[in-house]
Structure 1
């Protein structure tokens, strides 16, 4: 009979020991969120690498839209993700001004804090919306565009976003047509002639690789888009804080190009980026 009691005690004790171990270390499964484009997949896996190295188990929820991902974080459905200051400023905070980057980042951080989210600050680069096109003589700014003769290509969200409304209003843009593409195919649309101008991303390696002209925004219609690392679970902060300010835009462009141009996996690009960040220290 004592053997039976010993077996029963072992069954009861095992989960208690596991629970005590997990409680002592604070380690658990962390859910990392991402939107639906390459940079987000890469950054999610970079965060995952750092957390796995610290002993966490990680899972990913990808393809979340800008309209839902912050609420998923503040509601605890995900634990960490990267968003962009201008996106939160315009879409979630419903703000329309364009303050300097540091002021915007600070205000976004305070707004997030009131919702149970900690911003660890900028990763060191911004991924701003920018209109881009193949070089044309005399066209250097958005104000130079002859919009009625041109087709605008954009990602699946841009044409419904307040940033597009601000651009359209500020520059009185009335394109001949607008077309939506998955982000990966916008650049192909320029090559094929399906679009003349695209709503590109400033950290996308294909902008430089394809020799595109990024049109200046002299009237300041668009806000800054610093990449902000947002955390719901404060226990993750010590492992992730070293990423703040650690990624200059040239490294992010190269990592993005590995996926979008060279067809490598986000895991491979994240591993390269992690090594490049470490090498810069």
Structure 2
């Protein structure tokens, strides 16, 4: 496989890419520290790519604190939009292909329909606005790009919904979980495998693609599954989003159509609950 460089290697997806690279025997891959590959430093990024000469760059660096982004607008914009543009420019100058990770939060989510790549993006929070800005920056600067929108990312690494639920379930007897926001959980290990499959294909079918696990669920049903699979005894009550107000508004329905990525790269995407079982097993064995 061609040489690969990971930006944002210390985050959840970066750690999953490292794990999957080791499993698949991918050795020509570089995981720079944040100081070596800071998304906010254009000259540093360019120097890194000049030195390493990767064929592919995977951008996992992102500001993902959805509620905090409402107050930290400039920082969110700097990381998700400006930084993505810096990286795209460095890729263009060094003839590298960019795999840029985005989000289902670029959609408004008011209509109950499978979202495809051609649907109009209309984000309803700062995080979504800045991630869409990052997509637009990448597309305007660099033709050789894959933008992968994903959703509800979790794994055995870093902080995420699954690990939070397991922690709360061990501490409390009862929880209220939002039941009127619907989407698809995505195991970051599966996303990492998909990214490597795209690179291994050697295809130049650049553009925007949707990737999440298969299936549909609410946060309430996701939490219920986490507790059922982990055999955690906690009562879970479904509540409306209005009962748990957050600073940032979330899409009510953000289930993405994966037909394009499945057809183009012949991907077999796991069902969300199957992957959740695998993840919880990993967490329990840590």
Report TM bin, short chain.
0.3 to 0.5
TM-score normalised to the size of structure 2? 0.38
> TM (normalized to structure 1)?
0.38
Structure with greater contact order relative to length (CA < 8 Å, sep ≥ 6): 1
**Which has the larger Rg?**
1
